[in-house]
């Protein structure tokens, strides 16, 4: 394990500005690769719900649009932002579209996958709505597959908030 943590990364917001994840020090994060045209897209509702319920206690959802799975996020940032706002009333932070696998993988995702590999130690992200739970110190604590609903994560998040 490296001494680096999620807080050492900077990422581009959906509005184009660079954001240092160090601003989330002391908060529990759920980092999710999202898509607008996926069978799991309705999870936006659950993610927003968790965000609204637990944000006052120091919880953030960070959404990273990705078009690498079945081309299910074809739009640009403006279209993605509009979709999330109009269809799911998303108010949690959204970021610029990224790659989570392959040669152009965003550095944050390289880090997440190394810190918390998937089944049988594979690092590759298998589909949209893969989720990483990050503790207050910026350490990645859990990885959840796309089929794991946001609602089912509440106990893990509450536990992380209590640490």
Active site residues: 38
Q: With residue 49 as reference, give the H or E element that holds it.
A: helix 43-54
Contact, 37 vs 141, CB < 8 A?
no
Length of the chain: 163
Cα separations in angstroms, 110 against 13, 54, 66, 117, 123: 18, 27, 14, 10, 9
CA 78 to CA 157: how far, in whole Å? 30
Contact, 50 vs 33, CB < 8 A?
no
Spell 5-17 as b/e; 16+ CB within 10 A means b.
Answer: bbbebebeebeee
The DSSP result for 76-98, as a single string, is: -HHHHHHHHHHHH---S-BB---
């Amino acid at each position: 394990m490296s001494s680096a943590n999620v807080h050492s990364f900077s990422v581009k917001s959906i509005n184009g500005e660079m954001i240092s994840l160090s601003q989330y020090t002391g908060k529990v994060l759920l980092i999710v690769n999202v898509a607008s045209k996926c069978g799991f897209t309705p999870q936006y509702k659950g993610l927003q719900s968790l965000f609204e319920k637990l944000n006052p206690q120091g919880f953030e959802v960070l959404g990273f649009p990705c078009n690498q799975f079945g081309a299910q996020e074809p739009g640009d940032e403006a279209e993605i932002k509009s979709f999330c706002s109009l269809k799911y009333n998303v108010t949690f932070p959204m970021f610029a579209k990224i790659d989570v696998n392959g040669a152009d993988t965003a550095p944050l995702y390289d880090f997440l996958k190394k810190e918390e590999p998937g089944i049988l130690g594979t690092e590759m992200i298998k589909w949209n709505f893969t989720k990483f739970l990050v503790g207050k110190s910026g350490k990645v604590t859990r990885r959840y597959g796309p089929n794991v609903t946001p609602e089912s994560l509440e106990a893990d998040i509450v536990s992380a908030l209590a640490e």
